[in-house]
Amino acid sequence: MSAMLLRVLGAATAAYSAAIMVRPSWLAKPCGLARADGTVPAPTGLLIRSIGARDTALGMAMLLAPDLRALRAVTACRVVADLSDAALFGTALTGTARRAKAVGVAVTWGGLCAAAAARASRTAPVEGQSGRPRSWCTGAVGMRRRPSLAGRL
């Protein structure tokens, strides 16, 4: 279930990110980066499209990751991207309300992805034992459980 939540978050990320590539004003206006008439300066549009391209790629990778290990890795990249956005928008945007909104959205989205990834890791089955909760020690670093002698009898 948690892996499915990560995939849904990836799809939502990809959809919004593709949308801001088409309409950079959807990100520029709330951040105060648009002109008074609502248009977006060309250099700002370029940077917003760059962010959109990065996040579309990360979102699609989350959606299409072949297994939990790949899904966790790309989700970690997504969280780092969100936290870096929060740090940069939080220090560079003008206006306290704009900064708070941009930082709040980035930190919330990154936190949601991180929490879903942590939950997916805790509930993932150990290799070869589907349905059983994953042990923190076994499987966490790629180790496999050895079958006990009792299991062979």
Burial of 142 (0-12, 13-18, 19+ CB in 10 A): exposed
Q: What is the pTM of this model?
A: 0.76
Spans of all domains in the chain: 2-152
Cα separation values, 125 from 61, 76, 85, 101, 145, Å: 22, 20, 33, 38, 12
Q: How far is Cα 140 from Cα 122, in angstroms, rounded to an integer?
A: 9
Task: Render each residue's pLDDT in the chain as its tens digit; 153 residues.
Answer: 678 999 999 999 999 999 999 999 999 999 999 999 999 999 999 999 999 999 999 999 999 999 999 999 999 999 999 999 999 999 999 999 999 999 999 999 999 999 999 988 777 654 433 333 444 444 444 545 555 555 555
Would you say 99 and 106 are in contact if contact means Cβ atoms under 8 Å apart? no
Name residues whose C-beta falls within 8 Å of residue 20's C-beta, 6 or more positions apart in sequence: 26, 27, 48, 49, 51, 52
**86-122 burial string, b = 16+ CB within 10 Å, else e?**
beebeeebeeeeebebbbebbbebbebbbebbeebbe
